[in-house]
A and B are shown apart, each in its own frame.
Chain A
Amino acid sequence: MASSFTRMMSGRNTAMLLASLGAGTMATCYLMTDSNILSAEERRKLYPPSADFPDLRRHNNCMAHALTPAIYGKLRDQVTPNNWTLDQCIQTGVDNPGHPFIKTVGMVAGDEESYKVFADLFDPVIKDRHNGYDPKTMKHPTDLDASKITNGMFDEKYVLSSRVRTGRSIRGLSLPPCCSRSERREVERVTVQALAGLKGDLAGRYYSLGDMTEKEQQQLIDDHFLFDKPVSPLLTCAFMARDWPDARGLWHNNEKTFLIWVNEEDHTRVISMEKGGNMKRVFERFCRGLQQVEKLIQERGWEFMWNEHLGYILTCPSNLGTGLRAGVHVRLPKLSKDPRFGKILDNMRLQKRGTGGVDSATTGDTFDISNNDRLGKSEVELVQLLVDGVNYLIDCEKRLERGQDIKVPSPIAQFRK
């Protein structure tokens, strides 16, 4: 796409400059057809930022609410070290005006540096999405000590399965919207090499999407592990599906309780899951697995993208901080029909989804209940919130079964409400 950097590069003078820098063939091209090439200055005059400002009048996403002509004017001609621009960050939000009921984020990062170079837009979006969290002044706590979790064993009469997921990005390589084929392949190599070092209950194997046999594919589908080429326009408009299925794959341990997606929406998505209600064990495996993988990549000189303000850096600003979604599939036939259900969830900082994940409908009375928040609270805090919340929901369900009344709990403190 026409990045402002490459626009700046047009012009005969620039071609000379490039040649003198030793940029060889690149300079030659610029010299080849100069009949209607504008100089960088002429181009900027012809297309000032106002000419390119997107029409966001019908839009309902965080980016559209935060972007002003002033911010756009300031940032349009900036580039990250990977030549990523603001236009590329916001393309998905421009192309997807938004759901009337769900406010999407509307922008993505192309690399770690995006969050800094385009901070004037990312910061208000982060604030909007994460309950007033201010990246400039606040610090995000990281805590992967699963032993701190209490009451993490649910009543299995209600909770059918437990799951925790997050994402991790490999520092030094561009993120899925921006990465070249070689960078994506490098992410795959680094990750698969590290995972091969896992032992014991974490030992497993990798299935590359491109090389899978029909039998393997069917097995992964039956296990509900296989991820498909993204069809959501939120993802495809953010350039994340390029070159599919090159360097995409999944890894899982032999017991199928620890699973890693490679190069889907993030460099890696890490998932711990099992049938039943033992969330404590799920989270314990999650933390242990993450820490071991981190150690294994560090042995080879790599590390995860992380900083003290934004926590773990992922493609979508909605997943910053912990990137953590801890959830259960839970049966709540009576409670789900109670008009106070939504308020109870809200106050406990929980969200419900269908059992097919985000944007799916529920089947019967079984719901996917998970934490709303990602940034500003640690992993342990969020999982404990989920645990306490689900225990409360089950308690409500049991009360309704006995014909007793239930109470809507007070809202949990946030940065703003």
Chain B
Amino acid sequence: MKKLNDQMAKLTIKRLSPEEEFPDLSQHNNHMAKVLTQDMFTKLRDRATPNGFTIDGVIQTGVDNPGHPFIMTVGCVAGDEETYEVFKELLDPIIEDRHGGYKPTDKHKTDLNPDNLKGGDDLDPNYVLSSRVRTGRSIRGFCLPPHCSRGERRGVEKMSVEALDSLSGDLKGKYYALKNMTDAEQQQLIDDHFLFDKPVSPLLLASGMARDWPDGRGIWHNDTKTFLVWVNEEDHLRVISMQKGGNMKEVFNRFCTGLTKIETLFKDKGTSFMWNEHLGYVLTCPSNLGTGLRAGVHVKIPNMSKHAKFEEVLKRLRLQKRGTGGVDTAAVGGTFDISNADRLGFSEVELVQMVVDGVKLLVEMEKKLEKGQSIDDIMPAQK
């Protein structure tokens, strides 16, 4: 008790005023900078989550990265599940702004029943080169990547690998720890486009997610290389289902089956994924709350992508475009990565449905433009 007293007292000695501590956000363009005021900061500065995560931990990445020229970044991260509660004055408005007006009182619905998806098995493979669905999961009881200790990170790895090792059938696979990988294994994973590298993005580095690399990090995939799990990269787990061609239904089937099986395995071990009925699945970055789901395709739309109404069409379909290297890359040869823009406030099935329907329409438009026809009559309404 005395030790705690002393340490508490010492902790307060160097505290200068909150005005002195407030970051200079005058050059900044991210969600955190838009929302954080002196009053809010003054209030939140005296708090910590039960794991000792503070406001500075939440906002450091946003302070260090004034803004992406084309993308409005979030500018904050969670260090643990409790962050979203303890710092809700900051995070609720950010969530609202980022997720299309999602209110602190709104409820998020989870739907991982693949039978509810209509169609999706017939996207034209002449245009749709590959289909992919990814999400993230956090294991309750462990701090998130910005804040976890080495022991916790290793705990996440151990628990995850145990769960994944008990998958069977077409989901049976193998784990490759980043630090134990042989050269041959590494090359194979690179050739398969599976290997993830140490983060270089300053958005991730500034939040402390790359500490102790590559300790506790690894990749698991099934034998057919269609179901893949990243361990301890930007989230505890990133779960990916993918295959060549346009059968998004099969991809989503496998995704849901795999996720549900993994969740059951964790429950058997006495833990669960971080989830609540307001925020859905809790992940490190507020942008991935809810479903954390990005369903997308690589699709050849050279004509459509040059069309004046391309951006408008995407906006109405609630889709976004990226280059074929993923976020922050350029498109190559008219082939784009097209995926859902939303994460929170829509269920998994709803989001994948939007992608399936939207991509079908884009391919239709591409075909029309190839023939020199207009696409005005099939312009979609705003979803």
Contacts and interface: CB of A to CB of B under 8 A. Distances in A.
Interface of A: 1-3, 5-11, 14, 17-18, 21, 23-26, 29-30, 32-34, 36-37, 47, 51-55, 58, 79, 81-83, 87, 91, 94-95, 174, 180-183, 185-186, 210, 236-237, 241-244, 246
A1 B64 contact: no
A91 B57 CA distance: 16
Contact of B152 (A23, A47, A182, A241): A47
A397 B49 CA distance: 65
Contacts of A53: 150
A243 B23 contact: yes
Given A1-B208, A51-B155, A182-B20, 11 more contacts: A1-B147, A5-B11, A26-B47, A32-B82, A33-B81, A33-B85, A52-B150, A81-B10, A180-B21, A241-B64, A246-B24
B51 A6 contact: yes
Interface stretch (B91-99, B210-218, B239-247, B304-312): B210-218
A33 B47 CA distance: 14
Given A26-B47, A52-B149, A210-B24, A21 B52 contact: no
Contacts of B143: 2
Contact of A2 (B4, B7, B52, B206): B52
22 contacts: A1-B149, A1-B211, A5-B7, A9-B50, A9-B52, A10-B51, A18-B8, A21-B5, A25-B46, A51-B149, A51-B154, A51-B155, A54-B215, A79-B7, A182-B16, A183-B14, A183-B16, A186-B16, A243-B64, A246-B23, A246-B24, A246-B63
Nearest to B208: A1
B1 A17 contact: yes
Contacts of B206: 242
Nearest to A6: B52
A2 B147 contact: yes
B211 A91 contact: yes
B148 interface: yes
Contacts of B211: 1, 91, 94-95, 237
A300 B212 CA distance: 42
Given A79-B7, A95-B213, A174 B14 contact: yes
Contact count band on B? 35 or more
A37 B50 contact: yes
Q: Which 7 A-B pairs have the closest CB atoms?
A: A6-B52, A51-B151, A182-B20, A182-B16, A47-B151, A52-B151, A10-B50
B140 interface: yes
Contacts, number: 134
A251 to B, nearest CB: 20
Interface in B48-69: 48-53, 56-57, 60, 63-64
Contact of B63 (A23, A37, A242): A242
B52 A7 contact: yes
A25 B22 CA distance: 19
Given A14-B4, A47-B151, A5 B52 contact: yes
Given A3-B52, A47-B149, A32 B85 contact: yes
B11 A83 contact: yes
* Most A CB within 10 A of own CB, among B48, B52, B152, B179: B52
A26 B82 contact: no
Contact of A29 (B13, B49, B152, B205): B49
Contacts of B46: 24-26
Q: Name the residue among A1, A79, A82 with the largest chain B CB count within 10 angstroms.
A: A1
Contacts of B11: 5, 83
Given A2-B148, A180-B16, A29 B86 contact: yes
Given A2-B149, A182-B17, A185-B20, A242 B85 contact: no
B141 interface: yes
Contacts of A1: 57, 147, 149, 208, 211
Contact of A7 (B22, B51, B208): B51
Contacts of A11: 50
Contacts of B24: 210, 246
B150 A54 contact: yes
Interface string B26-51: 00000000000000000100111111
A58 B212 CA distance: 12
A282 to B, nearest CB: 36
B216 to A, nearest CB: 9
Nearest to B3: A8
Contacts of A14: 4
B200 to A, nearest CB: 10
Interface string B353-383: 0000000000000000000000000000000
Contacts of B1: 17
Most buried by A among B64, B81, B82, B149: B149
Contact of A242 (B48, B64, B140, B154): B64
